Structure 1
Amino acid sequence: MSIARRILVLVMRTSSRLLLAVIRLVSLFSRKPPYLSPPRDPLLLTPASVLAEKIRRGEVKCSVVVQSFISRIREVNPTINALVYDRFDEALNEAKAVDDLVSSRAHDEATLKENYPLLGVPLSVKEAFALQGMPQSSGLLSRQSLRSEHDAVVVSRLKRAGAVPVGVTNCSELCMWYESSNNIYGRSRNPYNPQHIVGGSSGGEGCIIAAGGSVIGVGSDIGGSIRMPAYFNGIYGHKPTPGIVPNDGQFPDAHGSRTELLCTGPMCRYAVDLPLVLKVMAGKNIEKLFLNKEVSLHKLKYFSMENDGGCLFVSPVDKELVEAQRRLVKHLEAELGVSVQPIKIYNLRYSFQIWSAAMSSDGGEAQNFADLMANGSTMWPGFELLKWMVGLSNYTLPAIGLAIAEKFAHLNPEGNAKMIQKAKNLKEEINSLLGFNGILLYPSHSKIAPKHNEPLAVPFNFAYTGIFNVLGLPVTQCPLGLSEGGLPLGIQIVSSPYNDHLTLALAQHLEKSLGGWTPPGSI
């Protein structure tokens, strides 16, 4: 390492530690929200697939199920602030319609299952997606009064499959930060410890599902916005192979090269529900995957990488996360009789730089982030930063910072071109390594859920998830129990394009053998 690089590393790490120390000192004097009690109602502890089956068979009324989830939301939401706008009355009316359909016996159970695979299942939706009658501001004050006149494609498909939306959930401003906080709805708080973040941008989704207020949800992911919230909240999230699930109907939508990075996918409390929800979301595109193909887990190739190799911009991986990954490796080797090969992929150390270059390689097609923030008016990021310092800006600090950083991203075209080439090489290397039957185990993040505002000191830690958006690989985030401090641990399960069935099968296996989601407040 050169002397200049050593000095840069020292300066970055010192400034980061100082900022973290200040944030933690401030948090000592902040009001401590109460912890949640675990859900007790058995209906709240039942997978979506089982709930739908019970409703179709008439074993439980949909109105009872939906009311149970509404009651849980009312119990926990004052603490976690996850669901930001409800449609409880509409949901109860739709639940009654489901009960009337079942009691009419106009269709037998098999027909109901074919036509309505999610019949009566409560559903939450990220506020960035259009849900008829609901706000779709994406945390932007200038869109505060907007109400959706239609449903996003995935929302429409889930509703046609019988799911009952209960409301929309919080996200970061314009969905580009990994703490879900904005100037309309405020901040969402982790159900395992409200002093910690829920992740972003689909943070409200991960939070309300983990807290027992929903069982399945809709998320989007351009740099880890499904997987980070799923990890921080101890649930499952799947970023599909790009192009499988339509992104239409969300704001902001992707343009130019960013369309290859943005993915819409399911967030679920139970791994067993991931394939079911993914099939509904994908529609006919599901035929491009192999979800009905039986997976022999003991015949797969397994690889494990415990860190990114030492990225200059990203924090080292927490010891507890490394230990959890090593326990998982031992578990797989003992239970499946496989050999998990430790590997080092050199170019993963450039994950943040590669993602940043990919986001700015649009050739002018993608809308400028500052223009999105301005929403039809004019916005000067530098001036907004000054306004923010005196409490006069309408925007959050992370959004302002991103708008400023975006202006610098285009100043180094040669460097960006090198990173795009590294991305191509990396994609070829990993696809060759995994083939059609390989699995890569990789950290979900470098840190266990940080306290509020701490991401400001380590803004690039999302690189552990963002790199797989650039590479176009399917990834399932899988919980691995709780840390010594009671916060979720997790792992990313990665495979090659169109082999989503491999990561989903392993996630379901681990749910059965290791336990999956742990209710908050139960330990």
Structure 2
Amino acid sequence: MLLKVRLLFSIIYFPYAILRRVLLFIRKKTQRIPPITDSLFTFSATTLAKKIRQREITCYDVVNAYIEHIKKVNPFLNAFVDNRFGDAIYEAKICDEQLANGKFDIEKLEKEKPLFGVPLTVKECCAVKGCSHTGCSLALKGMKASCDAEVIELLRNAGAIPVCVTNTPEMCAGIDSSNLLYGRTRNPYDTRYSPGGSSGGEGALLGAGASVIGIGSDSAGSIRVPALFSGVFGHKPTNEIVSTRRHLPLFEDKVHQKLLTFGPMARYAEDLGLLMRVLMSKCDRNLRLNEPVNLRQLKVYYRFSMDKAFGILPIVPEMEDCVQRAVKHFMQNDIRAEKLPIEWPTEVVEIVFTELVKAKNAPNILIDANDPKVKKNPVIEMLKTLFGLSQHTKQATFYNILMETRFLFSESDISHYTKQGTAIRQKLLDLLGEDGVFICPTFRCPAILPGLSICETLSMGYCAIFNTFGFPALHVPMGLNHEGLPIGVQVIAAPYQDRLCLAIAKELETAFGGWVPPSISISE
């Protein structure tokens, strides 16, 4: 255990606990976001695409309804940062004209363009031609994407229509989607809280019912944590099977490239599978996504917590209870479930940080507006943030300090934790094989307060360990807690067994209801 790092955070936790109580007392619950009033918002992307193909609804009506709802909820959430509403409406009308003219055969359309006419939202760090592509960094203000990222090309070719790009922390460095360029995004279930990060704007729009499918990115939980906080599904695919070209920040080092992936976020479990099939359409690895999964032949393993060692904030009981409820459901339905039978390391956080410090060329987070090649001193920038004199956020500067100091790791520390990580990864590989899944919490609590996210840095170990191992991992929503905040679990499988995560997600959605709208008022 690296006591230097854990001791530092242990000192932080006492004032953090006090500040959290004070802020919750001061910040009264605000007005709920505008309710969902159109039954269109209760359909999955899969269903919407089918209804559009069969001309039961028009593409224009779907795209326009989502754009109008985005406009209604955004003043409460500050979730999207740039839009292509006019272009999206124009493209939707073209889709309707093509269907009316009989240009497409329905069966061929379903096979070749399964997302035909469906609106799509995208995390700002992923390039969408003509939209903001700044990494939400003040230094890059005004930059627009000159072309689409490869994942957006695939989705467009499948018929999806991008409508807007969504907010993130500065250069995706943090778990609170706040920056000096576009401001702070708020949680759709309780605007006092953060929707998480770094795909926080994406999670917030989805959770509010203002998006049906989206694309996020994940190098340490940046899809799954916002999915938890906003009550939706978020899947981190197996490492290195989805192109990450045109991601900001640019990860040139192979270590960072292996940790990072784009992945799908959605309100309905079935849409994750559809999105994955589109994203894998040009992949040379067969993930067998169309093969049915017999759940009764699966081995389900579980843990209630990832790390209870010194220096780690305790997991709240309701997150452990989600795992227990999932396990109980499996056992009641003749699906074998047992506690993870291998010894779990107490140094999960150290194993994660070790992988990060191996990178020889960390991305430049603190970009200078006048000269991007200038390397700023993160300690000086942190001091400047205290007086509002920096161009950067506390999150970004703190992350840079950790990277510059290599998390206080020595070479012997790195060697020790690398060996530990390799050993536990191999044990998990042997255990899960091609028919095993692992259920555990996604995060230690259901929400965090903006401005205090640095104090939860070590809690990212719940998700980040599976980026380190390269395993697919998926967050599944399982309803709301007593405060009305979303809760859920994380599902992990061995590399290239993404389909097992997807199958478990659909099973748990059926059992526990999946996404719950934060506010709804639909006349039957």
State the TM-score, normalizing by the size of structure 2: 0.94
Is the contact between residue 257 and residue 366 of structure 1 (CA under 8 Å) also seen in structure 2? no
Question: Distance between the aligned counterparts of 1:367 and 1:385, measured in 2?
Answer: 18
**Corresponding position of 2:143:** 146
Q: Decide which moves more: 506-515 or 46-55.
A: 506-515
Pair 1:339-2:339 in alignment: no
Using the TM superposition, give the Cα deviation of residue 26 of structure 1 relative to its aligned residue in structure 2, in angstroms. 3.9
The match for 2:355 among 355, 358, 367 is 358
Pair 1:461-2:459 in alignment: yes
Classify the secondary structure of the residue corresponding to 1:38.
coil
RMSD: 2.1
Using the TM superposition, give the Cα deviation of residue 310 of structure 1 relative to its aligned residue in structure 2, in angstroms. 1.7
User: Structure 2: which amino acid aligns with 1:269?
Assistant: R
Pair 1:169-2:162 in alignment: no
Question: Distance between the aligned counterparts of 1:8 and 1:502, measured in 2?
Answer: 36
Question: Distance between the aligned counterparts of 2:122 and 2:284, measured in 1?
Answer: 21
The match for 2:496 among 495, 498, 502 is 498
The match for 2:122 among 100, 120, 125 is 125
**Corresponding position of 2:434:** 436
**Corresponding position of 1:293:** 291
Describe the superposition over 1:349-368 as per-residue Cα deviations: whole angstroms up to 9, x where unpaired: 22211111101112x24445
Q: Decide which moves more: 35-44 or 120-129.
A: 35-44
The match for 1:182 among 169, 179, 183 is 179
Using the TM superposition, give the Cα deviation of residue 8 of structure 1 relative to its aligned residue in structure 2, in angstroms. 9.0
Aligned length: 518
Is the contact between residue 227 and residue 475 of structure 2 (CA under 8 Å) also seen in structure 1? yes
Using the TM superposition, give the Cα deviation of residue 11 of structure 1 relative to its aligned residue in structure 2, in angstroms. 7.3
Q: Decide which moves more: 313-322 or 425-434.
A: 313-322
Alignment of 1:24-423 (within 5 A): 24-30=21-27, 32-254=29-251, 255-285=253-283, 287-335=285-333, 337-343=334-340, 345-362=342-359, 364-370=360-366, 375-409=372-406, 412-423=410-421
Q: In the superposition, relative to structure 1, how do residues 11 and 82 fare at CA in structure 2: closer, same or farther (>3 Å)?
A: closer
Is the contact between residue 236 and residue 271 of structure 1 (CA under 8 Å) also seen in structure 2? yes
Q: In the superposition, relative to structure 1, how do residues 372 and 129 fare at CA in structure 2: closer, same or farther (>3 Å)?
A: farther
Is the contact between residue 480 and residue 514 of structure 1 (CA under 8 Å) also seen in structure 2? yes
Using the TM superposition, give the Cα deviation of residue 21 of structure 1 relative to its aligned residue in structure 2, in angstroms. 1.3
Is the contact between residue 269 and residue 517 of structure 1 (CA under 8 Å) also seen in structure 2? yes
Classify the secondary structure of the residue corresponding to 2:405.
helix
Classify the secondary structure of the residue corresponding to 1:273.
helix
Structure 1: gaps (5+ residues): none
Question: Distance between the aligned counterparts of 1:503 and 1:372, measured in 2?
Answer: 41
User: Structure 2: which amino acid aligns with 1:395?
Assistant: H
Question: Distance between the aligned counterparts of 2:16 and 2:512, measured in 1?
Answer: 37
Q: In the superposition, relative to structure 1, how do residues 176 and 58 fare at CA in structure 2: closer, same or farther (>3 Å)?
A: same
Question: Distance between the aligned counterparts of 1:210 and 1:196, measured in 2?
Answer: 13
Alignment of 1:474-485 (within 5 A): 474-485=472-483
Q: In the superposition, relative to structure 1, how do residues 390 and 31 fare at CA in structure 2: closer, same or farther (>3 Å)?
A: farther
Using the TM superposition, give the Cα deviation of residue 454 of structure 1 relative to its aligned residue in structure 2, in angstroms. 3.0
User: Structure 2: which amino acid aligns with 1:194?
Assistant: T
State the TM-score, normalizing by the size of structure 1: 0.95
Q: In the superposition, relative to structure 1, how do residues 317 and 112 fare at CA in structure 2: closer, same or farther (>3 Å)?
A: same
Is the contact between residue 126 and residue 170 of structure 1 (CA under 8 Å) also seen in structure 2? yes
Question: Distance between the aligned counterparts of 1:8 and 1:47, measured in 2?
Answer: 44
Question: Distance between the aligned counterparts of 1:413 and 1:389, measured in 2?
Answer: 33
Describe the superposition over 1:103-129 as per-residue Cα deviations: whole angstroms up to 9, x where unpaired: 010221011112211001010000001
**Corresponding position of 2:506:** 508
Question: Distance between the aligned counterparts of 2:438 and 2:201, measured in 1?
Answer: 28
Using the TM superposition, give the Cα deviation of residue 486 of structure 1 relative to its aligned residue in structure 2, in angstroms. 0.6
Question: Distance between the aligned counterparts of 1:466 and 1:154, measured in 2?
Answer: 22
Describe the superposition over 1:83-116 as per-residue Cα deviations: whole angstroms up to 9, x where unpaired: 1111111110010011011101022101111221
Question: Distance between the aligned counterparts of 1:349 and 1:91, measured in 2?
Answer: 49
Question: Distance between the aligned counterparts of 1:94 and 1:339, measured in 2?
Answer: 48
Q: Decide which moves more: 149-158 or 7-16.
A: 7-16
Using the TM superposition, give the Cα deviation of residue 411 of structure 1 relative to its aligned residue in structure 2, in angstroms. 5.2
Structure 2: gaps (5+ residues): none
Alignment of 1:2-41 (within 5 A): 12-13=9-10, 15-30=12-27, 32-41=29-38
Is the contact between residue 20 and residue 454 of structure 1 (CA under 8 Å) also seen in structure 2? no
Question: Distance between the aligned counterparts of 1:500 and 1:218, measured in 2?
Answer: 17
Question: Distance between the aligned counterparts of 2:6 and 2:382, measured in 1?
Answer: 26
Question: Distance between the aligned counterparts of 1:458 and 1:505, measured in 2?
Answer: 31
Classify the secondary structure of the residue corresponding to 1:283.
coil
Question: Distance between the aligned counterparts of 1:406 and 1:9, measured in 2?
Answer: 16
Q: In the superposition, relative to structure 1, how do residues 31 and 143 fare at CA in structure 2: closer, same or farther (>3 Å)?
A: farther
Using the TM superposition, give the Cα deviation of residue 286 of structure 1 relative to its aligned residue in structure 2, in angstroms. 6.7
Question: Distance between the aligned counterparts of 1:311 and 1:102, measured in 2?
Answer: 59
Q: In the superposition, relative to structure 1, how do residues 515 and 8 fare at CA in structure 2: closer, same or farther (>3 Å)?
A: closer
Q: Decide which moves more: 91-100 or 8-17.
A: 8-17
Is the contact between residue 244 and residue 285 of structure 1 (CA under 8 Å) also seen in structure 2? yes
Is the contact between residue 23 and residue 453 of structure 1 (CA under 8 Å) also seen in structure 2? no
Q: In the superposition, relative to structure 1, how do residues 24 and 276 fare at CA in structure 2: closer, same or farther (>3 Å)?
A: same
Percent identity, aligned pairs only, is 34
Q: Decide which moves more: 148-157 or 369-378.
A: 369-378
User: Structure 2: which amino acid aligns with 1:163?
Assistant: A
Question: Distance between the aligned counterparts of 2:104 and 2:330, measured in 1?
Answer: 44
Classify the secondary structure of the residue corresponding to 1:330.
helix
